[in-house]
Every structure is written in structure tokens, then in C-alpha cells.
Amino acid sequence: MLLSLSICLMIVLNVPSIIRVLKVPVVSYNQDIAVGAKQLADYLLVSKIKTYSEDIGYYDEKGEENTIIFDKRRLVKTPGYEILITDIDDVIFFEKDAYMYMTITRGQQKYTYMICDLYRKQEDYVEE
């Protein structure tokens, strides 16, 4: 009898700590967006940007034409179909102070990243 009473008492005293463990919220940090933005910035670092608005058209270091598009909730590099970021609701590319930025919307959150500069060296520069 005393043994069963002590077991019941141990269970009752540990219930609040068990409930606290079960109530831990799930936290989502969305690191995949930052990784995809960094990967896109690496592509654009050595490229010549042709156009940007809803999509980005650019020439890479080999002179090949590539496009970054928003397709089926994904940010994709073409030709081919290299997925940079998945599960996003919207993406916007814009220019501010000679830099290109990207704003990604996922759920109710918006994330803005600087992805490249738009500075172009003069082609006809002559060294003296």
C-alpha cells in the first residue's frame, strides 16, 4: 500500500515537468532562404546582368546566358532546372543605390537580401 502511494505521488509530482516538455514550440529559422540567397549572390558575383524585374537574365563568366526564374513556388536557375530555394510564396528583385536586392515572402514573413552590385567598369578605360 505504501509502495503504490509513493508511486502515485511520484507520478503526480512529475506531471507538470512532462507537460512542459510536450509544450515546447517548434521554431523554424528558414536557413534555406539564406543559403539560396548566398548561392544566387555567388552566381551573380562573376556575371554580367542583362535584365532584371520578375526574373534575372545574366551572362556567366563563360559568356553563357542564364536566367533566374520564380516557378511553382521555387527560385530556379535555367538552363537546366537548378532549384535554389523552395517553398516560397513570392520573390521580388529591385535596385537600390546601385545594388540589387531580393525580397522573398514565405508565409507572413518577408526576407530581404542584397544579392549583387550593379557597378560596371568602363569598357573604354585606357591606362596612362
Quote the pTM value. 0.71
Q: What angle do CA 109, 40, 103 make, to 5 degrees?
A: 25
**What pLDDT is stored for residue 127 in this prediction?**
53
Q: Kindly give the confidence (pLDDT) of every residue in the chain, 128 residues in length, as a single tens digit, with 9 standing for 90 and above.
A: 778 878 887 888 887 877 777 777 766 778 999 999 999 999 999 899 998 888 999 999 899 999 999 999 999 999 989 999 999 999 999 999 989 999 999 999 999 999 999 876 555 545 55
Q: What is the pLDDT of residue 73?
A: 95
112 alpha-carbon distance from chain centroid = 9
Positive or negative, the Cα torsion across 114, 116, 76, 54?
Answer: positive
